[in-house]
Structure 1
């Protein structure tokens, strides 16, 4: 039983060492990724601006309804004088 307790103690020490090493390295990983995240955010903003410009450029022109125009059964705008009774 003493041998099992010694083996278990070695496992606990190895786990504690692993956690300590990870705890020491974690700030470097976080601060190392910050510039990358800033770059990604800037690229995301640039992409959003380009998409907005593209949406504005491809937006279909709006039609203004002129008095005397109605929609025919097909859905197109037809002037009163051309509409069939």
Structure 2
């Protein structure tokens, strides 16, 4: 089973479904009872905890990237406004 540490490109199927997370969920199948309740299976909990930790890391990375992008957008908009304001001032100044 691909893991987040082994290959980031292997984590996503063509449908965008996270295959390593699905694989973790498949590991739960032998741990389910006929009534749908879970029973304890060795090794499943650490695997699920590892997957959750990886998702948390990726969420943090995405949040950082979003903040950087927001700052870049604000700075770009501010520069464009300043440039437009300076051009307007230059045109209205007496020559």
TM-score class, shorter-chain normalisation, is 0.3 to 0.5
Question: TM-score normalized by structure 1?
Answer: 0.44
Question: TM-score normalized by structure 2?
Answer: 0.40
Structure of larger gyration radius: 1
Kindly indicate which of the two structures has a greater share of residues assigned to strand: 1
